[in-house]
Amino acid sequence: MAEAQNIPVGSTTAGSIAVAAESTVATRMSAPPSFEVADFPVPHGREEEWRFTPLERLRGLHDGTATADGGVKAEVSAPEGVTVETVGRDDARLGRAGRPVDRVAAQAYSAFEKATVVTVPRDTVLTEPVRVGVQGQGGVSFGHTVFELKPFAEAVVVIDHTGDGVRAANVEYVLGDGAKLTVVSVQDWDDTAVHCSQHNALVGRDATFRSVVVTFGGDLVRLHPRVNYAGPGGEAELYGLYFTDNGQHQEHRLFVDHETPNCRSNVVYKGALQGEDAHAVWIGDVLIRASATGTDTYELNRNLVLTDGARVDSVPNLEIETGEIVGAGHASATGRFEDEQLFYLMARGIPEQEARRLVVRGFFAELVQQIGLPDLQERLLARIDEELEESVA
């Protein structure tokens, strides 16, 4: 029913399957989800959800010492018919997709002053993407954004993070029945930036949610995508691509909560690491509750270690409370660059440096193709080539 493949190369990898287990929400978090910061203890690094995170590099986001003394330059470009609003904290549309699950997310929810709500009307099919640019201007900032698709609407959203600063934010995706949303979130921060964000998706009946998370920059990036289903027939596809460089800490913690019957989820995250003290963390939690009969789910994490000194922690977890499912499984693998692939290309006259680029591009190609926007795909492939300059030169 499920598989877990572990190939530790400068890494630690673990997986678990539990049948008729207690809820992941209760067993893996130090406190229940809440909008209140006081409901979460200050983490000390021994907690399950914090044990891989270097707390000292969070710049005070975790213990309340970080105060909003900076900002971001945010721009939203939306096609005709899309509504973009700046709203106050009391707007009823905020918080519907899910509550914060750790102290940083609760701090972000409690500290933002204005939120952005982007709404795609019912039955509207956008032919151009909604583009959101978030450029850090230094200092500490908090934010909240809601993307809502009314029933049977279809849209692509691109969120581009650049610049410098310490940023904590919550992002909500609310999909009405039959809606289709593709979100591409790019983290291309400066090398000194810190970014923590919880992504909550609420997928309506027969709706389709596709998330593509791309992480390159930042000193520390910690993202927490979460999916819940509001009705049967919902589908969620979560893709991720990360390239962890010398000294960087990039952490992606996913949770898919199957509580509704006849829903589907598919998770594929791939990462490449190079350089001393490069550290990538991937946690994939999938919970199939007793009520979620007919569930079909799978999650996969693969990591490619390009140089010595890099470390990967990859932990897929699957909890099943009902046997009446279509399928469920997970896999995790971490390994070095395969010399056989390199030899095959070089034997056909391709220089070694170009051969290495081709292998890494091929490793990521499956995920880049999921974006569906040629200009962005080319930009990301070029960015991968830039990252490779240090390891293949």
- Please state, in angstroms and rounded to a whole number, the distance separating the CA atoms of residues 59 and 165: 10
| Type of residue at 333 | A
Q: Is the pLDDT of residue 73 over 60?
A: yes
**Per-residue model confidence as pLDDT tens digits over 234-274:** 999 999 999 999 999 999 999 999 999 999 999 999 999 99
Share of the chain above pLDDT 70, in %: 91
DSSP 180-246: EEEEEEEE---TT-EEEEEEEEEE-TT-EEEEEEEE---SEEEEEEEEEESSTT-EEEEEEEEEE-T
For residue 12, how many other CB atoms are within 10 A of its CB?
14
DSSP code for 277: T
- C-alpha 55: how far from chain center: 19
- Please state, in angstroms and rounded to a whole number, the distance separating the CA atoms of residues 102 and 248: 22
Q: Where does the pLDDT of residue 19 fall: very low under 50, low under 70, confident under 90, or very high at 90 and above?
A: very low
Q: Which helix (H) or strand (E) holds 144?
A: strand 130-149
Yes or no: say if 278 and 242 are a contact pair by the CB < 8 Å rule.
no
Work out the average pLDDT over 58-82.
96
Q: Is the pLDDT of residue 49 over 70?
A: yes
Bridge pairing between strands 208-215 and 180-187: parallel
pLDDT computed for residue 112 by the predictor: 96
- Please state, in angstroms and rounded to a whole number, the distance separating the CA atoms of residues 14 and 333: 10
Q: Which helix (H) or strand (E) holds 264?
A: strand 264-273
Q: Is the pLDDT of residue 4 over 60?
A: no
pLDDT computed for residue 353 by the predictor: 78
Tell which wins on pLDDT, 325 or 29: 325
Share of the chain above pLDDT 90, in %: 78
CA-only gyration radius of the chain, Å: 20
pLDDT computed for residue 343 by the predictor: 73
**Per-residue model confidence as pLDDT tens digits over 312-364:** 999 999 999 999 999 999 999 998 876 677 777 788 888 877 887 888 888 89
Tell which wins on pLDDT, 303 or 356: 303
Q: Where does the pLDDT of residue 389 fall: very low under 50, low under 70, confident under 90, or very high at 90 and above?
A: confident
Q: With the C-alpha atoms ordered 62, 68, 69, 72, is the resulting torsion angle positive or negative?
A: positive
Question: Which range, 166-170, 303-307, 344-348, 364-368, is most confident?
Answer: 166-170
Quote the tokens at residue 236. 């969620």
pLDDT computed for residue 391 by the predictor: 55
Q: Is the pLDDT of residue 295 over 90?
A: yes
- C-alpha 272: how far from chain center: 16
Q: What are phi and psi of 168, to 5 degrees?
A: -125, 130
Q: Is the pLDDT of residue 18 over 50?
A: no
- Please state, in angstroms and rounded to a whole number, the distance separating the CA atoms of residues 52 and 35: 24
pLDDT computed for residue 21 by the predictor: 32
Tell which wins on pLDDT, 293 or 15: 293
* Burial zone of 188 (CB within 10 Å; 0-12 exposed, 13-18 middle, 19+ buried): middle
Q: How many CA atoms lie within 13 A of 97 on its CB side?
A: 27
**Per-residue model confidence as pLDDT tens digits over 100-122:** 999 999 999 999 999 999 999 99
- Please state, in angstroms and rounded to a whole number, the distance separating the CA atoms of residues 220 and 202: 27
| Type of residue at 136 | G
Q: Is the pLDDT of residue 170 over 90?
A: yes
pLDDT computed for residue 28 by the predictor: 60
Work out the average pLDDT over 287-314.
96
pLDDT computed for residue 387 by the predictor: 84
Q: Is the pLDDT of residue 83 over 60?
A: yes
pLDDT computed for residue 194 by the predictor: 98
Model confidence, pTM: 0.91
pLDDT computed for residue 354 by the predictor: 81
pLDDT computed for residue 13 by the predictor: 41
* Burial zone of 71 (CB within 10 Å; 0-12 exposed, 13-18 middle, 19+ buried): middle
**Per-residue model confidence as pLDDT tens digits over 207-234:** 999 999 999 999 999 999 999 999 999 9
pLDDT computed for residue 390 by the predictor: 63
pLDDT computed for residue 12 by the predictor: 38
